[in-house]
Structure 1
Amino acid sequence: MSASGVVKLKLVIAYDGTRYQGWQVQKIGVGVQQKIEEALARLLPEPVRVHGSSRTDTGVHALGMVAHVEVPDAALRLPEAKWPLALNAHLPEDIRVLSVRRCAPDFHARFHARGKQYRYFIWNHSAHHPLLRHLTWHVPRPLDIAPMRRAARFFLGRHDFRSFAANRNYEMENTVRTLTRLDIRRAGPQWTFIIEGDGFLYKMCRGIVGTLVQVGLGRIPPEAIPAMLEKRDRRVAGMTAPAHGLVLWKVFYGRRGADHEPSAQAEAQRES
């Protein structure tokens, strides 16, 4: 038994965000966090609070959301391997717990994350793929990938990303972030934007992708990106891409928690 009588578990969660108002518990509407806590309440003697690594927005999906929760020692009579089965039995089909593992007592899913990878998916064809309509942004006009890749290079490194983040109802103290990767892949009509960084502002990924799409349509020159970053004004940058094309793909950790990466099978399915 632990000294405190509780143990900490690390959960990896995937969900289709179409029906949810983001990750967090909401005053109006339903968040994914609420559904996870309700499932845990079916297995535990008392309610517990789940702490997520990210605050995904309304309509955004996740394949690698990481969360932690403290549960009573007695609850671990159920083997770790059976926790996902038990939780998923009480969850809707569009939310799945992929793994549950015991972690260090001081592990925190949000504060110990050292980086995240998001992926954004576009269907670039005159007709939208009907099976992917909830998972991809339909851009019917042809995109030019060469200027988009030139523009993408300007985002890499440490910058103030205020021009690409939506305003909240309070002033953000720090809008400086570091992007370490911004790749654009194309497989026929399906495009994938892979964005990695140490953190992301509200709707920042979607602001970047929306701007890159306008570059690909010839509406914004690639060389305009540095000036947009410099002005730190959302009005000077491009549009915000729709939420339903965005997926929290994985979260990176150091020694306090192993990085989670989707299985090879899941990766192949998303990129096929």
Structure 2
Amino acid sequence: MLRFKLTIAYDGKAWQGWQSQKSGLGVQDRIEAALARLFPCAPKLTSSSRTDAGVHAFGLVAHFEIPRAEFRMPARHLILAVNALLPDDIRVRSAVRAAPGFHARFDATGKQYRYGIWNHPAMNPLLRHTAWHVPQPLDVPAMQEAAAQLIGRRDFRSFTANRGAPLEDAVRTLTRCEIRKAGPKLTIIIEGGGFLYKMCRGIAGTLVQIGQGKYPAAAIVEMLDEQDRRASGMNAPAHGLILWRVFYGKTGDG
């Protein structure tokens, strides 16, 4: 068997998330359909992550296996062959041979998400699908002060959405949570070993509400201590979130 590692980017606007769906509108469905046209075994993808409907990716990583006998092209042609069968809003950025034991999910050591905000009275039409338009002035230093307090090993129960079942373990470790400002464009960069359901959107929405003066920066600690979703702010809209990178330690990132 041959194992391949794919690094994948997509605009999530038209898709029901990464994961395969009965409707066929998961990004995974479209890439697997392309692979099935190239390889008789119709390989299935194992991914590093899932993204929700409307969320984008620039560096999602997945792997698949095929029998050696089915791979009848130069390795450098795989990326061209797959992309030729995909819609314009999905692209494989890299397609390389992986070690037999490589696992896109279990070998990942961390992930980076980025959340985009356009903070100006008029929305930038070029960013309307990848940034949340917040027209009111934001107190960016207050947002940065609050973001810094999220770094570390914490119970993030107050920032995750309820999936209908009791959440037994809500402890996660953030290694980075910072806000970059470039004119009216704000980018929230969040890195960690793992994330809860809609956790990044809960953090982004809460930080924006702190910037609007609806909460003081110091309230972020109280929100964490409450361990109750009702204690924190809103979920930011899905379209501003991008899965930016997946890290793999010594073996390199996605």
Q: TM-score, normalised by structure 2?
A: 0.98
The residue identity in structure 2 corresponding to 1:155 is L
Q: CA deviation at 1:74?
A: 1.9
Contact 2:41 2:66 in 1 (8 A): no
Q: TM-score, normalised by structure 1?
A: 0.91
Q: Structure 1 residues 29, 237: CA separation in 2 closer, same or farther (over 3 Å shift)?
A: farther
Q: Structure 1 residues 230, 48: CA separation in 2 closer, same or farther (over 3 Å shift)?
A: same
Corresponding residue to 2:40 among 38, 45, 51: 45
The residue identity in structure 2 corresponding to 1:170 is A
Contact 2:18 2:27 in 1 (8 A): yes
Contact 1:65 1:250 in 2 (8 A): yes
User: Match for residue 184 of structure 1?
Assistant: 179
Corresponding residue to 2:152 among 141, 146, 157: 157
Percent sequence identity is: 61
- The 1-side partners of 2:6 and 2:180 are apart by 30
User: Match for residue 258 of structure 1?
Assistant: 252
The reply on whether 1:249 has 2:244 as its aligned counterpart is yes
Output aligned runs, 1:23-42, within 5 Å: 23-28=18-23, 30-42=25-37
User: Match for residue 3 of structure 1?
Assistant: none
The residue identity in structure 1 corresponding to 2:253 is D
The reply on whether 1:166 has 2:177 as its aligned counterpart is no
User: Match for residue 76 of structure 2?
Assistant: 81
RMSD: 1.0
**SS state of the match for residue 40, structure 1?**
helix
The residue identity in structure 2 corresponding to 1:210 is G
The residue identity in structure 1 corresponding to 2:187 is T
Q: CA deviation at 1:132?
A: 1.1
Contact 1:20 1:29 in 2 (8 A): no
- The 2-side partners of 1:29 and 1:101 are apart by 26
Q: Structure 1 residues 47, 76: CA separation in 2 closer, same or farther (over 3 Å shift)?
A: closer
- The 2-side partners of 1:159 and 1:217 are apart by 25
Output aligned runs, 1:102-251, within 5 Å: 102-251=97-246
**SS state of the match for residue 182, structure 1?**
strand
- The 1-side partners of 2:168 and 2:34 are apart by 35
Q: How many residues align?
A: 254
**SS state of the match for residue 222, structure 1?**
coil
- The 2-side partners of 1:219 and 1:164 are apart by 16
Corresponding residue to 1:68 among 59, 63, 70: 63
| Structure 1: tracts of 5 or more residues without a match | 1-5, 261-272
| Structure 2: tracts of 5 or more residues without a match | none
Q: CA deviation at 1:29?
A: 5.4
